[in-house]
């Protein structure tokens, strides 16, 4: 484009003004004058969103020249306008403010790391066998409450042992500012791999701000903070690769779980540390990586973690209702394919398919059959398994009404009573 503009300007021997419209990016003016030399100006519409702050109205920069003198826009501000230009100049960015409009600026990641850094701690747990100390388990954590509550992974503080065998364990905690404390494991859930550690301090403790993992989208920038290989205050950056990676996709059994997948560099010692958005808010807890690949790290979404913490506060443990159903989410394409295979497939547009029912389970006793399509649960329409889980919440031994569609346009209402799942399932 620069060559075209150069030829357009140089081909004219008299003062002229060439107006060139560029798609979605404003208007460029090229001016040629034998006395002053060629110049190019840029007009940017107000509706155009740019990664720097723009004043109200149009910005007409007659001093933006591509020939003779060159001035570039930067996120650090701009030069003062000419005395006869009454428009408000582009404001300089304030690195102390959170990023706006989701744009990645020069200091965005550094600012996010600075906000979360003081609340990230190093955790070490002496390990022993037959009374002989064999080493230390190293991990990370985040102070989430001024009372000294630290969020981390269960496998960091328990080593995948039974909570009944290892509860109330002692943990050495080191803050970014160098202070050290002895912490106590107060709660842990092995299925979600989430735990809480508590420390006591006579002086104020830094705390992290909790965000919302539900607002994340694939491609969003995030940072991982922690103590990989005992290297405290390590920050790595990447993007969200997937917001709902199923545990079954990773070959993990047990209760159905979902993870955030990112390409942030994480290593041994990052476990329990925070995954942070560009506003410096915790959106996940780093939990694991794929050893045989690079850029495949996984975190527990903070929305799920918040619910687990609420369970800890309410019941001292996580209560998981169990129905005994295998479930598959349906969409229009899957439904169309199933109808091609079996013309008797239920006439639905959405819902959750039940391919199998576990014998002797609450669902089996309620009358569920393989091939049922759940369309309403406890009076609410449902399209995803997550919606069913949220509706049930921690309600065990409470009867719920479920509407299912069957072949031959048969609609059946069932009464099912969830029971608490075996913690070792």
Residues marked active site are found at 155, 193, 271
Compute the CA torsion angle 409, 414, 418, 421 (nearest 10 deg): -40
**Phi, psi for residue 404 in degrees, rounded to 5:** -125, 150
**Phi, psi for residue 276 in degrees, rounded to 5:** -125, 140
With 0-12 / 13-18 / 19 or more C-beta atoms within 10 angstroms meaning exposed / middle / buried, residue 299 is buried
Rounded CA-CA distance 335/151 in Å is 42
DSSP character string of 184-221: EEEEEETTTTEEEEE---SS----PEE--GGG--TT-E
CA atoms within 13 A on the CB side of 24: 2
Tell the residue number behind the tokens 């705390």, with chain if given. Answer: 207
Residue 22 pairs in a beta bridge with 26
Rounded CA-CA distance 224/107 in Å is 16
Question: Which three-class secondary structure state does DSSP give residue 54?
Answer: coil
Rounded CA-CA distance 115/97 in Å is 11
| Six token digits for residue 233 | 């205050």
Is 315 within 8 Å of 280 (Cβ atoms)?
Answer: no
Rounded CA-CA distance 75/215 in Å is 25
Rounded CA-CA distance 61/176 in Å is 46
Q: Which residues have C-beta within 8 Å of that of residue 51, sequence separation ≥ 6?
A: 75, 101, 103, 104, 105
DSSP character string of 245-300: EEGGGGT--SS--EEEEE-----TT-TTPEEE-TTSEEEEEEEEE-TTSSS-EEEE
Question: Which three-class secondary structure state does DSSP give residue 315?
Answer: helix
CA dist 276 to 56, 115, 122, 147, 261, Å? 32, 10, 17, 22, 13
């Amino acid at each position: 484009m620069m060559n075209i503009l150069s030829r357009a300007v140089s081909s004219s021997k008299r003062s002229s003004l060439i107006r060139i419209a560029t798609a979605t990016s404003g208007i460029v003016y090229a001016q040629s004058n034998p006395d002053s030399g060629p110049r190019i100006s840029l007009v940017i519409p107000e509706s155009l969103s740019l990664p720097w702050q723009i004043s109200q109205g149009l910005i007409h920069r007659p001093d933006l020249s591509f020939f003779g003198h060159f001035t570039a826009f930067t996120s650090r501000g701009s030069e003062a306008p000419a005395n006869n230009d009454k428009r408000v100049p582009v404001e300089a960015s304030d690195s102390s403010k959170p990023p706006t409009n989701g744009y990645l600026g020069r200091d965005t990641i550094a600012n996010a790391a600075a906000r979360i850094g003081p609340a990230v701690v190093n955790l070490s747990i002496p390990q022993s066998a037959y009374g002989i100390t064999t080493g230390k388990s190293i991990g990370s954590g985040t102070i989430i409450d001024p009372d000294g509550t630290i969020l981390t992974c269960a496998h960091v503080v328990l080593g995948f042992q039974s909570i009944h065998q290892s509860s109330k364990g002692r943990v050495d905690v080191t803050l970014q500012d160098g202070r050290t404390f002895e912490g106590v494991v107060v709660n842990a859930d092995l299925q979600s791999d989430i735990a809480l550690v508590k420390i006591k301090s006579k002086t104020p403790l830094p705390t992290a701000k909790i965000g919302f993992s539900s607002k994340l989208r694939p491609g969003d920038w995030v940072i991982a903070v922690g103590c990989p290989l005992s290297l405290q205050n390590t920050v790595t950056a990447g993007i969200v690769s997937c917001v709902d990676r199923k545990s079954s996709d990773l070959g993990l059994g047990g209760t159905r779980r979902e993870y955030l997948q990112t390409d942030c560099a994480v290593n041994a010692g990052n476990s329990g540390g925070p995954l942070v958005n560009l506003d410096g808010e915790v959106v996940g807890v780093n939990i694991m990586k794929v050893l045989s690949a690079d850029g495949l790290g996984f975190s527990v979404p903070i929305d799920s973690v918040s619910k687990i913490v609420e369970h800890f506060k309410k019941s001292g443990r996580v209560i998981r209702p169990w129905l005994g159903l295998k479930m598959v989410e349906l969409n229009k394409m899957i439904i169309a394919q199933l109808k091609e295979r079996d013309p008797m497939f239920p006439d639905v547009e959405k819902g959750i398919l039940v391919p199998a029912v576990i014998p002797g389970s609450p669902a089996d006793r309620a009358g569920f059959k393989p091939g049922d399509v759940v369309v309403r649960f406890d009076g609410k329409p449902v399209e995803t398994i997550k919606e069913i889980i949220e509706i049930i919440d921690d309600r065990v031994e409470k009867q719920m009404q479920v509407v299912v569609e069957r072949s031959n346009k048969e609609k059946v209402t069932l009464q099912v009573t969830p029971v608490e799942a075996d913690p070792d399932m």
